[in-house]
Amino acid sequence: MVNINSVVIATGTHGNEFTGIYLGKKFEKFPNIIQRSSFETRVFLSNPKAFAAARRYIDKDLNRCFAKADLQNPQLASYEDILAKNIYYLLKEESKNQQQVLIDLHSSTANMQLTIILKSQHPFLLQLAAELSAINPDVRICYSQPIKESNYLCSISELGFTIEVGPVAQAVLNAELFQKTEALIYQVLDYIESYNQGVSKEQNRTLTFYQYTEVIDYPRNEDGEIQAMIHPQLQFRDYEPLNPGEPIFLTFDGNAIAYQGTSTVYPIFINEAAYYEKGIAMCLTQKKTLEI
């Protein structure tokens, strides 16, 4: 594969995810720290208006606005729809004759640690994931195979991926997580530098990753109102095995509700604040390995 020419770090795709936003501001202030000799790196703030309001979005979730059909649909004219179209055409134009890596930086209220979410199994992305897993014990790799066409910002680039760091509350900075995220970005940039220089170790490795299988909503009544909370035994247990019969919810009366599945799964995004409105209490994954 040809060399990587540029890296774009998108921050604030959700305006209340401060870790990435303030890290991006630091990078803009000290651009030398993200420059490497073999490629250009730049940062952009995806949703400035949502950041100014310290909200996830103004009209709708920007990170669900990038399906091709939606980008081409002139009827879709909300603030985020127009923003998505502008970002898409800007990055497409910019990356015309370039091999561009697009990193979309998010944070989560769930205990996601340093999660890399891949939307494809492109060999470059798998090698990067294996390298990061090998050198950073907080890194977890998720693979979300798009059922239909992806509508995420990172899908603009063939070499796009999402980083989710947590747990951190919305519109809050956590210094430890900020520094861990910063170190992870440098590890990504350093890997790309060594890749371009042909010195990245093309060794055979086993990559452990977590593949999305389904989402689970909260128990709700006929009016759609939530009837139970995440069970305290499951809170912050992202990436830990959950077996059939183990409790996942606790009703307001104090009754445990068990996981009804038939096999062991690995829940992630447990009790993610932003997912209450999406009807998602957690995402279930299967733990898998891949020889690369």
Note the residues at the interface with Zn ion (CB under 5 A).
14, 17, 106
Whether residue 24 contacts residue 14, with contact meaning beta carbons closer than 8 Å, is answered with: no
Asked whether the beta carbons of 138 and 105 are under 8 A apart, the reply is no
Q: Dig out the tokens for 144 from the structure.
A: 């979300």
Min separation Cβ 208 and Zn ion, Å: 24
Residue 97: CB minimum distance to Zn ion, A: 30
CB of 168 to Zn ion, least distance (A): 11
State the nearest-atom distance from the C-beta of 99 to Zn ion, in Å. 26
Phi, psi of 243 (to 5 degrees): -100, 155
Question: Distance between CA 201 and CA 186 in Å, rounded?
Answer: 18
Query: What amino acid occupies position 59?
Result: D
Nearest CB to Zn ion, comparing residues 152 and 209: 152
Residue 11 near residue 21, CB atoms below 8 Å: yes
Q: How far apart are CA 146 and CA 109, in angstroms?
A: 23
Report the nearest approach of Zn ion to the CB of residue 17 (Å). 5
Residue 14 or 85 having the CB closest to Zn ion: 14
State which residue, 12 or 259, has the beta carbon closest to Zn ion: 12
Q: Which is nearer to Zn ion, 17 or 81 (CB)?
A: 17
The answer to whether 263 and 244 have CB atoms below 8 angstroms apart is yes
* Six token digits for residue 80: 């985020």
Whole-angstrom Cα distance, residue 246 to residue 258?
A: 5
CB 57 within 8 A of CB 80: yes
β-strands 100-107, 139-143 pairing: unpaired
Q: Which is nearer to Zn ion, 10 or 129 (CB)?
A: 10
CB of 274 to Zn ion, least distance (A): 7
Closest CB to Zn ion among residues 106, 231: 106
User: What crossing angle do the helices spanning 123-135 and 175-196 adopt, rounded to 10°?
Assistant: 130
